[in-house]
Amino acid sequence: MMAGAALCLVSCSEGRAIATSGGAAQRGVSAAPDSSFAKLIERLSEPDRYFDTDNLISNETSYLHVVSKLKELGVRGRAYISVGPDQNFSYIASIRPNIAFIVDIRHDNLLQQLMFKALFALASNRLEYLCLLHGRPPPTDAEGWRDRSIEDLVDYVDGASGDPELATAVLDAVAEKVASYGYPLDSTDLVKIRRFHLEFIREGLGLRFRSHGRRPRPHYPTYRQLLLERDLSGRRASYLATEDDFQYVKSLQESHLVIPVVGDLAGDHALRAIGRYLAERSEIVSAFYTSNVEYYIMRQGAFQPYVRNLSELPHTENSLIIRSFFGRNFGYVHPQAVPGYFSVQLLQTIGSLLTQAGAGGYGSYLELVSKNQIDLAVRERAAGQ
């Protein structure tokens, strides 16, 4: 695509009719009004705290290993709660919740989520989204790529040259769109959003997870690697693997039903406020993705406040926790570890955690990730892939 046409993609995207598949409006889910989106963020959030990673992308290469089991167990709809950056969109694409909350102790994560939200609004399809995220000009026939594989999309972005004029236009369009959401941002916040986006533009799909104060580790994945990961049935399962999955996440974003929240999972406000909000809407949690945050919660001696907060979320016997475990940091190979993966994805019902916590609790983090875990069942098939 010529630079002028690519710039038109940014400036003209708001005027295009977007065809979504199974979107929030089609399912009769009430969207949060534009004016209430920012107010809801402020209502649910609490003061931020420091964490020592930039978390622009995940470091969990195993993040999709639970997707097959989620589908088998019928984990679908309702409310999704989570932490972290855009690996959440893949869980949202799989679970198809009515509403999602992305909670993080860092205000920076909220800023990054607003950046993603703007990009979903500016792009009409997943290839345009990927190109805008990385400052690459999409092809003239981007709509014709709707049924192409994620490998094809990755190859296109890898082969496309960056365009400084386009990158500047995209950065400006994202800033303008973010400002339209009404959430109060100061000049420092806007600079940070621009810096986060520039990292994706400069690094392309080679962008790698980083942690402050620690040397880079060979198991830290690139964004390319995360996009091309598979579930344990061997299926590409990221939110950009199919147009239908992308369009679902886009529809939820455009209905203001992906809510970024600043909060500590063991804090006094955010998680409990989400629980009250869900009760007001008569919604139940279908899945709660905690990554490995419980490790830090236990290390800080805050597990009981976390359990209290968890108990106040509307849930059923089928509501699940999705977590990630980095067992090799403890010299321990988890029974569900897949060869070749540094992280292990795990599933547990919220009810079983609460029951165990009430019957004496967990003596250690290793006990937490070992007891009452749901067998993912097809892990052996992944080993030979």
Domain housing 251 = 20-383
Is 1 part of a structural domain of the chain? no
Could you tell me if residue 12 is inside a domain?
A: no
Is the residue at 11 inside a domain? no
Helix (H) or strand (E) holding 103: strand 99-104
Residue 99 included in any domain: yes
Q: Whole-angstrom Cα distance, residue 382 to residue 385?
A: 5
Express each pLDDT in 39-88 by its tens digit.
Answer: 999 999 999 877 666 689 999 999 999 999 999 999 999 999 999 999 99
Paired with 323 in beta bridges are 291, 346
Question: Which residues are CB-neighbours of 50 under 8 A, at least 6 positions away?
Answer: 106
b/e burial code for range 143-170 (CB count within 10 A of at least 16 → b)? eebbeeebeebbebbeebeebeebbebb
347: its two tokens: 């599933």
CA distances from 193 to 43, 61, 117, 177 (A): 22, 25, 12, 12
Residues 221-241: pLDDT tens digits? 999 999 999 999 999 999 999
Residue 262 has a pLDDT of 97
How many domains, in total, are found in the chain? 1
Please give the C-alpha separations between residue 296 and each of 71, 274, 360, in angstroms, as whole numbers. Answer: 29, 21, 20
- Inside any domain, residue 369: yes
pLDDT > 90: what percent of the chain? 80
Segment 296-319, tens digit of pLDDT: 999 999 999 999 999 999 999 999
Of 121-125, 333-337, 361-365, 378-382, the range with the highest mean pLDDT is 121-125
Identify whether 13 is part of a domain: no
Q: What is the pLDDT of residues 128-144, one digit of tens each?
A: 999 999 999 999 998 89
Contact 150, 240 (CB under 8 A): yes
What pLDDT score was predicted for residue 377? 77
Question: Is residue 25 pLDDT above 50, yes or no?
Answer: no
Q: How confident is the model at residue 10 (pLDDT cuts 50, 70, 90)?
A: low
Residue 88 domain-assigned? Answer: yes
Whether 8 is in a domain gets the answer no
- Full-model pTM: 0.90
Q: What percent of the chain has pLDDT over 70?
A: 85
